[in-house]
Structure 1
Amino acid sequence: MYMHFTEEDYTALYPAQDQMTDNPFHSWQDHSKLSSMLTLSSGILSDEQFDIISLFLIYTSQLINNCAIIANSLSIAVFVKLGFSEPSNISLTALAICDFTLAVLYTWNNLCFWLTYHNVQLPFHGANVTFLTGRAQWAFLSTTIAWITAFISFERCLCILFPLKVRRLITPRGTFVAMLIIILLTFCPSFFIYIRYKFIWVFNPYLNRTILDSIPVHSEFAILFEKISVAICGVIQPVFAFSIVVICTVVLVVQLRKISSWRMSVTSAKSQRLQSEKNAASSSSAAEARISQKEERLVRMVVAIATIFIVNYIPTCIGLLCYVVFDEFNHFGVYKKISIVSGFIISLGQPLSGSVNIVIYYRMASKFRSVFRRLVRLDRQEEKRHELE
């Protein structure tokens, strides 16, 4: 719901406007807080330090975001050309779409912060509106990415542990339904944030016009609902998904080592005794033997994707835990500067993970590499080069 505030209402909402500096970044302070809280927040991170760190992180993260947008656009195009007859193509396409959307949301967030810093007069409060139209969504979308990665890792675990049964368990239709369920349970709850916060039209006497802003709703139900939804969707779900990825990655690495050792023993063929031992191998080794080299390459690719995800998702888990443990560690709290800076730091890792995935696909998936080369016309360039030679 949108509300219109007059100049008197605006003054009541923001009584400390005379304490504001000329830099719009500093107007992010919640002026309804007590002055002691403002002093505490400024003591942790000064305005000058906040400006320097924020600008550096904005430019750095945006460079990574641009790479992530390009890389995931290409990945989606390649997977569409490959088709969705394989369940892995469906899950990897969903992962690329989420990574692409995340990079777009990061870009929107960085753009608004950059325009605000350079005194561009926007028709809305850049930081507060961006919180409800960007930061909240990518916080939940990171959970979606975590669960999709967990599903991909778990799927590969089933393929390597039960190679004869997995094709009946995991089908293209089942994978598609699983992706929809993951998105509904992880990303869609991000819109519940509008129960806790709402948009308002505020008359800004310094701009002499009405702008769009947002304020928290201070009802007991809204506060309780936010705590429950953030605890479940923002902490429990991503940490649980992160744990599944870690466990499945460890299982995959162990099984890959077993497969490599078994293959080495088969190809060496040192003696007849070794051959007979191979024939009398355990049922687990027999199952491993049925895993083709194509499946093994796919497993190695999933391990690489999961490992990069684990490394880049650790800061997100730490930030989510801080958001729940410390009441004032949020966009409207005492430690809002630290919260904003930590959000920028987190924004470096996740798009980086999404932009690196295409390199893994290209190096480890022959079909992806072939279609990718045709898509960007690399094969034609090589043919022309050979003709000239």
Structure 2
Amino acid sequence: MSILVPFKAKLMFTPAKSVVAAIFVSILTLITTAPLFVPFGTETFVDTTTNTTFFILVFEESLSSMESFVITWTGCSQVFCLAIIIISNAMLLWGLKKSNRVWVSRHNCPTAGNRYSEANNRARNVASGNIHEISVLHGPTERIPNPPPIQTNPASALRIAREKKIGRMVVILSGIHLASYIPTVVGVCLKGMKPEFRMTSRSLASVLETLNASVNIIVYYQMSTRYRETLDRFWAKCKRRSNRVAPATTADT
């Protein structure tokens, strides 16, 4: 929804609803990974050298089946989410292109604008008595005064420019997200097909996930006016607070 209708999603998801959605997603993520912790058990281990008893976690026999289930579920959900992101971006680009084409045809082509407003012009002319019948070979015809040319609405132009900017930002963020998480999805699928495959902590997927989080902040700051203003106010407030604390610390010393 945030990709298809970014403006409506911004109005629908208030801060309270965003918190509820984040909590719901976190709980859903925990539920999907919880089966991995079910096969663990505890055993006692006695260290004879120090005469100390330890409780340790051990793997049960059903760990492999649970791990296969979680990997399959995670892989399918990630593939589904990536497909939804790709389809949503394609629909967003198509919608922006269509709305831009309609707007240009209405405001830059007088004939298209006249055809669009022909019914309204006819109703106004009938009400004002500006329609006159003239005789031609094929019968009576109405003479309708030409309507004035439609002028470009600055508000509409501003709205189209804003929609383009938001659409470009959404597409860039989605592209970065896809480029960052496609290796992870491929790795999960390979792990499901080949259990001996392992993704280490130094893998390319981990590096791309870190870059994704960092680049998102930069893109938001460059392209979102509200985000930039909010972040600037936050840093200005932190700077003022640090400036107030610094003289007090100097006076105490």
TM class, shorter-chain normalised? 0.5 to 0.7
* Equivalent runs, 1:1-389 vs 2, <5 Å: 154-158=1-5, 170-172=12-14, 174-197=17-40, 215-219=58-62, 222-232=63-73, 234-266=74-106, 269=108, 271-277=109-115, 279=117, 292=159, 293-330=161-198, 339-340=199-200, 344-377=203-236
**Which amino acid in the other structure matches residue 307 of structure 1?**
G
Cα deviation, residue 212, structure 1: 9.0
Whose Rg is larger? 2
Partner Cα distance (2:157, 2:18) in 1: 23
Asked whether the equivalents of residues 249 and 307 of structure 1 are also in contact (C-alpha less than 8 Å), the reply is: no
- Cα separation, partners in 2 of 1:244 and 1:273, compared to 1, 3 Å: same
TM-score normalized with structure 2 length: 0.62
For the Cα contact (< 8 Å) 2:6–2:166, is it kept in 1? no
Alpha-carbon shift at residue 211 of structure 1 (Å): 9.1
Partner Cα distance (1:314, 1:191) in 2: 24
Please identify which structure carries the higher strand content. 2
Q: Relative to structure 1, is the Cα distance of residues 310 and 167 closer, same or farther in structure 2, using a 3 angstrom cutoff? A: closer
1:239-272, Cα deviation, whole Å (9 max, x unpaired): 11111111101111222222333444455x3x52
Equivalent-residue separation in structure 2 for 1:329 and 1:198 (angstroms): 25
**Offset at residue 174 of structure 1 (A):** 4.8
Q: Which runs of 4+ in 1 moved over 6 A?
A: 199-205, 209-213
1:183-221 Cα shifts (integer Å, max 9, x gaps)? 22223432432223457787899xxx99997653224xx
Call closer, same or farther: CA 1:167–1:312 in 2, change over 3 Å. Answer: closer
Paired amino acid for 2:2? E
Q: CA deviation at 1:171?
A: 4.2
Structure whose residues are more often helix by fraction: 1
Count how many residue pairs are aligned between Structure 1 and Structure 2.
196
What is the match of residue 78 of structure 1?
A: none
Return 316-325 or 209-218, whichever deviates more.
209-218
Structure-1 separation of matches of 2:86 and 2:231: 30
Unaligned stretches of 5+ residues in structure 2: 119-155, 240-253
Distance 2:184 2:28 in 1: 19
Q: Quick one: distance in 1 between partners of 2:206 and 2:75? A: 17
1:134-172 CA distances to partner (integer Å, 9 max, x unpaired)? xxxxxxxxxxxxxxxxxxxx2331457xx6xx789x343
Q: Does the 8 Å contact 1:202/1:212 carry over to 2?
A: yes
Q: Which amino acid aligns with 2:72?
A: A
| 2:168 alignment partner AA | R
Residues 361, 368 of structure 1: 8 Å contact kept: yes
Two-structure CA RMSD over aligned residues (Å):
3.8
Aligned-partner Cα distance in 1 for 2:66–2:169: 40
Letter in 2 for 1:273: T
When residues 317 and 359 of structure 1 are mapped into structure 2, their CA distance, relative to the original with a 3 A threshold, is: same
Query: For residues 266 and 202 of structure 1, do their structure 2 counterparts lie closer, same or farther at Cα, with a shift above 3 Å needed?
Result: farther
- Give aligned-pair identity as a percent: 20
| Secondary structure of 2:196's aligned partner | coil
